[in-house]
Amino acid sequence: MFRKVDCVLVRVPDLDAALGFYRDRLGLRLVWRRDGEAAGLAMTDSETEFVLLAEQGGPETDLLVDSTDDACRSFSAAGGHVETGPFDVPVGRCAVVRDPWGTRLVLIDLIRGRFRTDAEGNVVGVGPPPGQ
């Protein structure tokens, strides 16, 4: 059911300050940026994105699945609990689940594609990867 870790999401009070730290000082590469509210950064040896989100709260791990709706059904049937969702997000569908011990996970599919960006990394749309 879980394909890979899609992203590690870190909530920050100031997106520009966080970019100054993670991108400029720690060397993560900007992949996309959305209207001052979020930014995706690339790690050197991983497809997993390091996402900064300008809002309060703790970190989360987002797991890529083929279908969030199907994954929620399977997760529930296995004894887990769907806390929130499934709900639409710009790139697909998402849900928050908890395992029997209370561990919170986020399931996400990319049924609409990935963010498309301009030369500066600003999100200009969503679509399938080039060549598809």
Q: Are 93 and 109 in contact (CB under 8 A)?
A: yes
**What pLDDT does 62 receive?**
96
**What pLDDT does 128 receive?**
77
Q: Are 3 and 45 in a shared domain?
A: yes
- How far apart are the two ends of the chain, measured CA to CA in Å? 23
Q: What range does the domain containing 60 cover?
A: 1-64
Task: Report the alpha-carbon distance of residue 41 to residue 67 in Å, rounded.
Answer: 24
Question: What's the domain count of the chain?
Answer: 2
Q: Are 6 and 51 in a shared domain?
A: yes
What tens digit of pLDDT does each residue of 55-73 get? 999 899 999 999 999 999 9
**What pLDDT does 131 receive?**
56
Here the CATH number for the domain that contains residue 41 is 3.10.180.10
Q: Are 39 and 87 in a shared domain?
A: no
Q: Are 41 and 95 in a shared domain?
A: no
Task: Report the alpha-carbon distance of residue 11 to residue 96 in Å, rounded.
Answer: 16
Q: Are 54 and 102 in a shared domain?
A: no
Q: What is the pTM of this model?
A: 0.84
**What pLDDT does 33 receive?**
96
